[in-house]
Structure 1
Amino acid sequence: MTLETAPLTAPLPALDALCRNGAGLSIGVEFPLDNDFARHGRPGSTGQFGIPDLTHQRRRAELADRLGFKALWLRDVPLWVPAFGDAGQVFDPFPDLGYLAGVTDSILLGTAAVVLPLRNPLHVAKMAASIDQLSRGRLILGVASGDRPNEYPAFDADFDSRGELFRSSVNAIRTAWRESLGPEDTVKVLPPPAQDAIPLVAVGRAQQTTDWIASTMDGYMTYHRPGPLMQPVVNRWNHAVPDGQHKPLLTTMLLDLVEDSRAPAEPIRFGARLGRNSLARYLEELEASGVGHVALNFRPSQRPVEDALEEVAKHVLPAFS
């Protein structure tokens, strides 16, 4: 396998739908749909910090779909490292996505992100294509190089080589989706994706240069920043994207939506605590900066997740639909 690969030029319906063909901001949600960050340490709370309650995930995923959120994002945390605290949504993203494909109708399904150096790229290609078929073309495959060095020895993988492994995996996955892997069509990965090509989005830098990501990947997801601080990030990204191509920049946001609709924005780590009116203005600033999609994460929310989902859907989503 070579380390470099040209981007595909085939249509990417899921990514176009996510970012409305560059026409503005869309809003999704990030699993787990739980408020375990806020719940930890309260009287009567159980469990360790960062391990969510998964009891209501199906119902909340169905609710997000019904309310009109654009995408559900799942993380890949291969091994729980207590020192990092956060176990993601606990379930492996691929069987979880297969399950969600069957219980949702229109919401897009994304990974943010599959740790490529710790997985065989042909398995990733086959699992992703399977999810794309099961969901009728709703998958966006976010991929990363991983940032937890403790995981790598357990997988007999070299942490320092993860950037090279990431590039070779991207090439192998795309090759498996479009070509035979043996002479005279003797070896193929089935099924083919439902889309002409499943969008591949770099989540974080993945040990790559911005120019490599912009020329090779279909989009880029970066850490949260408020709109004014995101503007130069978007400008650098757009400058790196080849002329004539639209490749969106995506981000996430930790959200503690308070009951007072007029409450001003108060920064928290990777997000904000604020009322719905301030949230709308906050998202408008991100849209003005050129961000194409924001995935809201409700884990620091003091309120029930259902209440926050419904309030955002009723009072905020219409401005971005």
Structure 2
Amino acid sequence: MTTNTFDKLAQHTFSVGVELPLDNDWAHFDATKGTPFGVPDMTEHHSRIQLADKLGFKAAWVRDVPVYDPSFGDAAQVFETFTYLGYLAGITDNILLGTAAVVLPLRQPWLVKKAAATVQQLSNDRLILGVASGDRPVEYPLFDVDFDSRGEQFRQSLEIVKHGESSLKPGMSLLPRSTTPPLYVAGLAQQSPQWVGENMDGWLAYPGTPNDHAKRVELWRNVAGNKPYVSFIHLNLVEDDEAPIKRHRFGVETGVNGLIKELNAMKEAGVDHIGLHFRRNTQPVEVAMQRIADYVLPNFHK
């Protein structure tokens, strides 16, 4: 099985990116400030994404969270996904722009297709369109969408995103004309592994340990061949370079050398790309990104 021709992430043997927001609000939450837990401070988002681009991180991943729900405690990057991607395309030069992931059943698929084509053209083919069936039941009644049939709706929407032009009447076209971005799936989207492997260009796997990923990668390779396998680490990079790896939910607390060890283990497990999530980070985000660029990325981006 081959990957999408325009999949720039697949050109790397192993790479490291960032997951937005580039904030560390989880580590420094202060209830007295009046901002609910999980709503990041976006004040520095412009300079931080430009720093990530300048430092050589390979991809920036954004979430699709239509409505903030305090029971989930995560507002993602606050801004609407495609609007934000268009903005990011204009202020960055090289970093790939990925969605992790657009919830197809909650969006009109023709508009998803047009929005993706727009971002793809504005970014000079830097978009990776991650899609999902969604996992927050509270959102579906707001959109008048049936939660239990989201798997079927996902397949129907994906067909339009991939091949919708074939159903247009003669002379009609969807503008802007653009290359179809690589299509990655988060989880299984209520589909079988075989279906996902055959129909998607890459897999966005939930965070886990290197051992967790080794098992999942084996499954992915069996159904998808060499297509990219992507996951994420919730990171707290501490000042002590020799600090051992301490595991927490979805990630690690460690120093520079421990992070290198963890990423090498991910690479050895067959992971192709890791996005670093900084919301647990106790050091300033800029400091952590700079140290990773100076001491970690040279081990992997060659």
TM-score by length of 1: 0.91
TM-aligned CA deviation for residue 8 of structure 1:
9.2
Measure, in 1, the Cα distance between the counterparts of 2:79 and 2:7.
27
Match of residue 23 from structure 2: 34
Match of residue 190 from structure 1: 175
TM-aligned CA deviation for residue 248 of structure 1:
1.1
Match of residue 90 from structure 1: 78
Q: How does 1:127-206 map to 2 (within 5 A)?
A: 127-176=115-164, 179-185=165-171, 187-193=172-178, 195=179, 197-206=180-189
SS of structure 1 residue aligned to 2:52:
helix
Q: Does 1:108 align with 2:106?
A: no
Measure, in 2, the Cα distance between the counterparts of 1:46 and 1:313.
34
Deviations 1:225-262 (A, max 9, x none): 12122111101110112xxx521110011000000000
Amino acid at match of 2:28: R
Q: How many residues align?
A: 301
TM-aligned CA deviation for residue 49 of structure 1:
0.6
**Percent identity (aligned):** 48
Q: Is the alpha carbon distance of 1:98 and 1:296 closer, same or farther for their aligned partners in structure 2, counting shifts above 3 Å? A: same
Measure, in 2, the Cα distance between the counterparts of 1:47 and 1:183.
50
Measure, in 2, the Cα distance between the counterparts of 1:235 and 1:149.
30
Amino acid at match of 1:272: V
SS of structure 2 residue aligned to 1:141:
strand
Q: Which runs of 5+ in 2 are unaligned?
A: none
Q: How does 1:217-228 map to 2 (within 5 A)?
A: 217-228=200-211
Measure, in 2, the Cα distance between the counterparts of 1:12 and 1:136.
11
Q: Is the alpha carbon distance of 1:312 and 1:120 closer, same or farther for their aligned partners in structure 2, counting shifts above 3 Å? A: same
Match of residue 106 from structure 2: 118
Q: Which runs of 5+ in 1 are unaligned?
A: 1-6
**Runs of 4+ that moved beyond 3 A:** 7-10
Amino acid at match of 2:65: V
Asked if the contact 1:181–1:188 (Cα under 8 Å) also holds between the matched residues in 2, the reply is no
Match of residue 5 from structure 2: 11
TM-score by length of 2: 0.96
Measure, in 1, the Cα distance between the counterparts of 2:226 and 2:2.
13
